[in-house]
Every structure is written in structure tokens, then in C-alpha cells.
Amino acid sequence: MVPFHTEQQAVNSLDYLPPPPTEQSPGFTNDKGAYLNGYALKGSPRWHQATGDANLSPANIAKIFSPILGVTISESTTPATWYMLRNMLIVTRYAPAAAKKYYMRTRPFVVYGHHSCESSSQEAGMRKDGSYPSGHTTFGTAFALMLAEAKPDKARELAKRGWEFGQSRVVCGAHWQSDVDAGRYVGAVEFAHLQSISQFRLVLEQVKQELNR
């Protein structure tokens, strides 16, 4: 698959995002409070939702958003939407990459010596990856915005689920609240950037046709 754009062609997140909150700032106090509130949900239905949201496989994302759309997203039934999903999973990794690599912020579950909602093997990888901004949230925001444009009658429900998808990263303990807040903005910037790419616009028209048949 050829991505809609390369990492070098992404809007550089380091150019527009402010630094994450410092440890003595009110912002970090808010981050800690949000983390502890999320950790208190461990074992609850919301924790289990966050665990499901952590899985970025195309099949799992399709399972999350299909009921809202009233359309089953799959490679066979909605090939354009499936292609869009897989391509956006790639380019939304590029969008936050510069800031992630620069700040290399330590994730909350590491700071607190807890476990997140993810597996031990996934946690090992996250320890080596910067927390700010949230890549999951970048994807969830951009993908929900794309679906809302394709199927505007479901925009309210899609926006709500996209918001929850990002907030799951705080519940999961994988990200600070400020990571998620920044990820939402990066996702919006990425979605705006994609609108300037002819191949994205072409596929989006195909997605509209599939989801509104």
C-alpha cells in the first residue's frame, strides 16, 4: 500500500505543539489527577473498553465503528473504507512522530510503576516510545472526522466515539491527559492536511458512496 503521504511530508508536529507540562506545573497536576482517576477504573466496563480501544488492528477498528455507521466495514464489503482505514493507520503514525521523538516523554504507567491495560510485550515497546502526543488519539480523531464527513448523519455519534477512543488512553494508563489533548489537535491537523491530497479526496468519495448506499 502506498501511503497518502510520507513521514517527511507530514505537517511537523514539533513546529506547532507546545512542550508537554513540566513536573511542577498546574498542567502536570491535572495530568496526575486524570491518571489516578483512570487507574481507579481498573477492572470496570470503562477499563475494558479502553483495553479494546488499545488494539489498532484494522479488524478491531472496524468492529468499533461499524455499529455506529450501521454498515459492516470489511475488506470484502467496503473495500474503499477498508483501504482508507489501513492507509490512515499509517499516516497518523507520521503526524505526531516529530514531537514524540523530540520530547520522549515518559508514560504514566512507567512513572507510577503500574501496569497499563496493554500486554507486557506492548508495554515493553511503549517504554521506548514517547508519550507526547498520543498516536492512538491522533488516529482516532482523524478517522472519526473522516467518517463524519463521509456519513454526516452519524457525525454526532462518531465524534463522541472518537473522543472516547482518545480518552481511553488515559484510562488505560498509557498516556497523560495532556498527551491525549495534544493528540486530538494533531489528528485535526492531519485530517486538514489530508484534504489537500488528491488521492485521499478520491478515496473519500468512494467511502461516501459505500457508506451511503
Nearest in space to 182 (alpha carbons), one of 39, 2, 31, 18: 18
How many whole angstroms separate alpha carbon 114 and alpha carbon 104? Answer: 19
Alpha-carbon distance values, 106 to 100, 103, 176 (Å): 10, 9, 9
CB 131 within 8 A of CB 21: no
Which of 107, 175, 184, 193 is catalytic? The answer is: 175
Q: Which of 179, 181, 184, 193 is catalytic?
A: 179
| 136 part of the active site | yes
The residue annotated as part of the active site, out of 136, 161, 184, 193, is: 136
Would you call 115 a catalytic residue per the annotation?
Answer: no
Active-site residue flag, 181: no
Catalytic residue among 105, 161, 169, 184: 169
For the chain, what is the total number of helices (H) and then of strands (E)? 12, 0
> Catalytic site residue 179?
yes
C-alpha triplet 172, 126, 73: angle, nearest 5°: 65
User: Which amino acids are annotated catalytic?
Assistant: 136, 169, 175, 179
